[in-house]
Structure 1
Amino acid sequence: MIDGDTVEVRFKDGEIDTVRLLGVDTPETTLSRVDPLEYEGIPDNTAGRDHLFNWGERASDYATDGLEGETVRVATDPEADRRGSFDRLLAYIYVSGENFNLGLIEQGYARMYDSSFSQRSEFAAAEEEARSENVGLWDFDGSTSTETETDTATPEDTPTDEPTDDSGSGGSGDFPPPSNDGDLPDPYDCGDFESQDQAQEYFESEPDDPSELDSDGDGVACESLD
């Protein structure tokens, strides 16, 4: 056994030949060779590659369990090349009358390999069904965003000269540091604010007026700043 779609077969005359299962392609079992672009819907990122690598190993285990030590029938296809680019025999393998190549696709261990062979339409239909049912390797639930690399450094937090509300008032605006160092009950004086509008904003954020900015109770803070 070599991997999920390539096996060694011993024929009756004792000759051993390497058979590349015709019409199917299982994921690679070497992580650096995994190519998610060959499997529609699997993202070309770390999650996608890890997912396919895992299923490549599962396909190898499935082929080992299903073929090792079994008596099989090896059949070539008149519409396909007899041997591939690595001089491997291109063939279907039948176990107990069942097409093992087709089973790899039906069980979600492989995609249909885009080549010429007589059972192409049947294999394509099997892949479409496996994909629609999220069978095997098509059941991917990881991130589908494409992983990209960038040389742009992540900006770090930097100090700012903008005033912040140190009083713990919970107001919506930016207020200057209180002259009374935030001591309650009166952290602010009117002189701490740059304008009456700023004082009014702070006053409205603190309905109880702990700093007593509205001395006459008319709802207007720090009228002396007008």
Structure 2
Amino acid sequence: MRKLLVLILSLFMMVLSFATTIKGKVIKVADGDTITLLEESGDKTRVRFYGIDAPEKKQEYGIKSLDVLKKLIDKKEVEIDVKDKDQYGRIVGVVYYNGMNINLHMIETGNAWWYKQYSKHNVEFGIAEEKAKLEKLGLWKEDNPTPPWVFRKNQKNNRN
């Protein structure tokens, strides 16, 4: 019985290790932190970028953030380091293109916020955001840009 349990646990761990990375071609950039990927298997997968939150399209700087991401990875082959699934069923992960961490790049260039609520311990994202603020890059050209989570909350409250 114990050998069977060890075998099942080993197989489960193998499956988990294989399922943590997916590859494919970006077929749609929805906004500055969400893409649709055509996986090598032929499956279409929506991916939400881990640890960042980009301005909404209807928000100031939203289209610019979208355009920056499009120029970086639209129609390109990327690799996703899968972290989780969100409440909408999207994969949440770190996106890499030619070895570049695109999530981090979006923060470094002032095209997204560090989403602290979901990645508190990611010191690298925090440092990148502070540097972008100091250099007044991207959305940080404004003195006090509205974070997307505040924008969404305000939009929801205005509908009620």
TM-score (norm 1): 0.49
Q: 1:8 aligns with which of 29, 32, 36?
A: 36
Q: In the alignment, residue 32 of structure 2 is paired with which amino acid?
A: G
Alignment of 1:62 with 2:90, yes or no, is: no
Alignment of 1:133 with 2:139, yes or no, is: no
Specify the alignment match of 1:85 in structure 2.
Answer: 87
- CA distance in 2 between counterparts of 1:119 and 1:62 reads 26
Aligned-partner SS, 2:77: coil
Share of identical aligned residues, percent? Answer: 31
Alignment of 1:20 with 2:22, yes or no, is: no
Aligned-partner SS, 2:111: coil
Shift of 1:118: 8.2
- CA distance in 2 between counterparts of 1:69 and 1:118 reads 31
> Which runs of at least 4 in structure 1 moved beyond 4 Å after TM superposition?
none
Q: In the alignment, residue 140 of structure 1 is paired with which amino acid?
A: E
Shift of 1:139: 0.8
- Structure 2 portions without partners, runs of 5+: 1-28, 145-160
Shift of 1:117: 3.8
Mark the structure with the bigger radius of gyration: 1
Shift of 1:69: 1.1
Shift of 1:98: 0.4
Corresponding pairs, count: 116
Alignment of 1:122 with 2:124, yes or no, is: yes
Residues 70 and 102 (structure 1 numbering): CA distance in 2 closer, same or farther, change over 3 Å? same
From the two aligned structures, give the one with the greater helix fraction: 2
- CA distance in 2 between counterparts of 1:71 and 1:138 reads 30
- CA distance in 2 between counterparts of 1:72 and 1:123 reads 20
Shift of 1:65: 1.2
Aligned-partner SS, 1:115: helix
CA-atom RMSD in angstroms: 1.7
| Cα deviation digits, residues 124-163 of structure 1 (max 9, x gap) | 0100111111111001169xxxxxxxxxxxxxxxxxxxxx
Q: In the alignment, residue 73 of structure 1 is paired with which amino acid?
A: E
Specify the alignment match of 2:81 in structure 1.
Answer: 75
- CA distance in 2 between counterparts of 1:29 and 1:87 reads 21
Shift of 1:119: 6.4
The aligned runs of 1:102-181 (5 Å cut-off) are 102-117=104-119, 120-140=122-142
- Structure 1 portions without partners, runs of 5+: 32-52, 143-226
From the two aligned structures, give the one with the greater strand fraction: 2
- CA distance in 1 between counterparts of 2:121 and 2:76 reads 24
Shift of 1:105: 0.4
Shift of 1:26: 0.8
